[in-house]
Structure 1
Amino acid sequence: MSDTSNPLIKRAMAVAAGGAVAIAAVLVPAFEGSRLSAYLDPVGIPTICYGHTAGVRVGQVKSQAQCDELLRGDLGIALTTVDRLVKVPMPETRRAALASFVYNAGAGNFASSTMLRKLNAGDPVGACNELPKWVYSKGQILPGLVQRREQERQLCLM
């Protein structure tokens, strides 16, 4: 086990964490898009910027800088969730794919998923292949989710 109090190990861990953040920071905006004015998403949830929903009211407006800050915070929360729930080592690409999933589908869905159970049981391929099952919203397949989950799956398998 690593000595996480060692300054060099801490720096190395920070650089490694930056890998998943950097990957997710490219992946998430590509799928979420960016809108500076709040709107209702396909399932009727008030949303702004890159899919941010917490405390959003229709009619709100944010600057690009505010949207970028919300993205950083939301990705940090998603990655923290992944790191807390996944009990096995994984590459940064998988962390980024799972963070994108958590960002979109939510921590609760990830926590109760077969994907997480398979991952923690040592079946990363089976876990990654669960992603394409998460393409429904209100019982309907959303084409954007089909594309997103396939990209997440490919990244997860790297």
Structure 2
Amino acid sequence: MASRKSAPVSSAQASPDASPWDGAVPAAATAVVKRIEGFFAHPYDDNGAQPGGTWTIGYGTIIDAQGRRVTPQTPPITEAEAEQLLRRDMAGAARDVQQRVQVPLLTCEAAALISWVYNLGAGNLAKSTMLLRLNANRKSEVPAEMRKWIMQEGRPMLGLLRRRWAEAAIFSGMDATNACVRAWREIDDLSDWPAF
């Protein structure tokens, strides 16, 4: 509900990753992806067989260990194999962020952007107004730009809004666990966007 307001993030809830980003995949990025995607040993359509779905496995991986797209026929994987695929894909997302963002980032900012790229892809980052704002060092505008990326097949999706809010909150300094919990607890419809 849009009327629900939350208290600002206290220093106890602030991300411990407010240091300059060193180019590695921050723990917060992996934590948010694992929490939001969840683990699936078998391939699944990430949109419940609705238009625009993509077959994924593990923690939202779309390319298997042999470099092939995940399909309904992709063999099941273990959680350890899913972790390896996640590390591979998160490293790729981190490289994409590092290559395209031309201003220094804090680790919490990089974590949010890596999660965003993991979900939406480097191509969307490259063409986004969010990247223009970032590279103009207008970081305060990034959360609002993240909020725009909630469409699937032309329709806004509540799950994507929750994910974008969590990423925007992490970018703004909230720890990943708190951001994810609050996103799913406080966002009930598409008009919700609680204060960080």
Aligned to 1:57: 71
**Structure 2 residue 133 is matched with structure 1 residue 128:** no
Identify the match of residue 53 of structure 2 among 37, 40, 44: 44
Q: What do residues 53-84 of structure 1 show as CA deviations (whole Å, max 9, x unaligned)?
A: 12212132111110000000000000110011
Query: How far is the alpha carbon of 1:52 from its aligned partner?
Result: 0.6
**Structure 2 residue 161 is matched with structure 1 residue 156:** no
Q: Which has the higher contact order (CA 8 A, sep 6+)?
A: 2
Measured in 2, the distance between the counterparts of 1:131 and 1:84 equals 19
Aligned to 1:99: 114
Q: Which has the higher helix share?
A: 1
SS at match of 2:137: coil
TM-score by length of 1: 0.86
Aligned to 2:130: 115
- 4+ residue stretches of structure 1 with deviation over 6 A? none
Deviates more, 1:99-108 or 1:125-134: 125-134
Alignment identity in percent?
35
Query: How far is the alpha carbon of 1:33 from its aligned partner?
Result: 1.2
> Which consecutive residues of structure 1, in runs of 5 or more, have no partner in the other structure?
1-12
Q: What do residues 113-141 of structure 1 show as CA deviations (whole Å, max 9, x unaligned)?
A: 00000000010011232001101100111
Query: How far is the alpha carbon of 1:17 from its aligned partner?
Result: 4.0
Aligned CA RMSD, in angstroms, stands at 1.5
**Structure 2 residue 86 is matched with structure 1 residue 71:** yes
SS at match of 1:130: helix
Q: Does the Cα contact within 8 Å between 2:146 and 2:164 map onto a contact in 1?
A: yes
SS at match of 2:109: helix
Aligned AA (1:35): F
Aligned positions, number: 144
Query: How far is the alpha carbon of 1:16 from its aligned partner?
Result: 3.8
